[in-house]
Amino acid sequence: MTHRLGQVFLVDGNIIGKIIQFAHLTPQTPVIEIGCGNGALTVPLCQAVNQLDVIEIDAQWIHACQPKVHPLNPNVTFHHADILNIPLTPLCTPTTHILGNLPYYISTKILKKLIAHSQGGFQAATIMVQKEFAKKCIAKPGEKSYTSLSIYIQNFFEFKYGFTVTKQCFRPIPKVDSAVIQLTPKPSPAIADVNHPYFRVVNAAFWGRRKPLLSALKKSPYISWKTDIRQVPFFQAYPTVRGETLSAEMFLTVYDQIKSHMAELPRDTRA
C-alpha cells in the first residue's frame, strides 16, 4: 500500500524481527498479512511459515514482491483486494494468525472487521497501529483515551501490548510513534454479537461524551425510544453520571434496565 493510501514503510530490520518473534509463529501457522508494501515484512514472514496469504490493494507492490518471495516459498498467495472488502472467511482457519502494519486512517475499520470475524475465525492478530490508537484499546473508564472502541476491543479480545516503534523506524517518517499489539479472540465474550443493541448504548454514550449519560442516550442518533428512561433505577441513583466513567459491566447494567424502553432502528442506522 503506497504512502498516498496512508501507508508508511518499516525500514528497521530489528523491529521486523521483533514483530515475528512477538507473534510466536511456527512453520505450521497459516498467516494472513494485511498489505505487503515493499515486502519488508513479507519476505521474512514467507521464510518463517509454510503458508502465507497477502492482501494488498496496490497492484504495483504485488508485482514488486512476487519475485522476492516465490523463490523462497511457493505457498505465498497474493490477493489484489481491499482488506475492508475482501471476505476473510475463505482465507481464515481457527489457527490463522493475522499480521500487518495498519494504515492509520482505516485502523478502526480494520479492527471492526477483525471483531466481526473473531468468533472462531482466527487465532490471533499481531498488528502495528498508531501508539495513541493502541492506548485507546487498553484504556480504562475515566481515562482520556477511553472510547467506545475500548469497550469493543476489550469485549472481544484479550489484549497484549508488545512494544513501541518510534517514527524514525519508518520511511517516510510519520508524525507519530507506533505500537505493536496482539489481539487474541475471547472464546466467550460477554456480548458475542457485534450487532447486539448493547453496543448502541455504548455508541450513544460516547457520541455524547462529556454529557450526562441520560442526556446522551435521549438525544443520540443510535437509539430511539418507546418510553421515558428517566425513571429507571440507574438514573434515579445516578442522574448526572457520564458514560465515559462507566465500565463495560456498568454499561450492561444500564442496558438491562433500559432495553425494554428501546425502539428498533433500521439496520443501516446502527453503528
Strands 97-101 and 31-34: parallel
Closest CA relative to residue 149, chosen from 6, 24, 271: 271
Residue 134 has pLDDT above 90, yes or no: yes
Contact 248, 151 (CB under 8 A): yes
* Residue 192 backbone phi and psi in degrees, to 5: -85, -25
Residue 147 has pLDDT above 80, yes or no: yes
pLDDT in tens, 6-57: 568 899 999 999 999 999 999 999 999 999 999 999 999 999 999 999 999 9
H-helix segments, 49-124: 59-69, 107-116
- The whole-angstrom separation of Cα 76 and Cα 120 is 23
* The pLDDT value given to residue 232: 96
Average model confidence (pLDDT) across the chain: 93
pLDDT band at 104 (very low <50, low <70, confident <90, very high): confident
Closest CA relative to residue 52, chosen from 8, 84, 96: 96
* The pLDDT value given to residue 264: 75
Q: What is the mean pLDDT of residues 181-209?
A: 94
* The pLDDT value given to residue 208: 85
Percentage with pLDDT > 90 across the chain: 89
Residue 107 has pLDDT above 50, yes or no: yes
129 CB burial (10 A radius; 0-12, 13-18, 19+): buried
Distances (CA, A) of 193 to 197, 227, 256: 9, 25, 16
* The pLDDT value given to residue 209: 86
Distances (CA, A) of 109 to 11, 91, 106, 144, 242: 25, 19, 5, 21, 26
**Domains, in order of start, for the chain:** 3-185 (3.40.50.150), 198-269 (1.10.8.100)
Strands (E), the chain: 9-10, 31-34, 52-56, 76-80, 97-101, 124-130, 157-165, 170-171, 178-185, 224-225, 262-263
pLDDT in tens, 198-211: 999 999 999 988 89
Q: Which residue is listed with cell 458514560?
A: 243
Q: Which residue is listed with cell 518471495?
A: 69
Indicate the SS3 state at residue 76.
strand
Residue 247 has pLDDT above 60, yes or no: yes
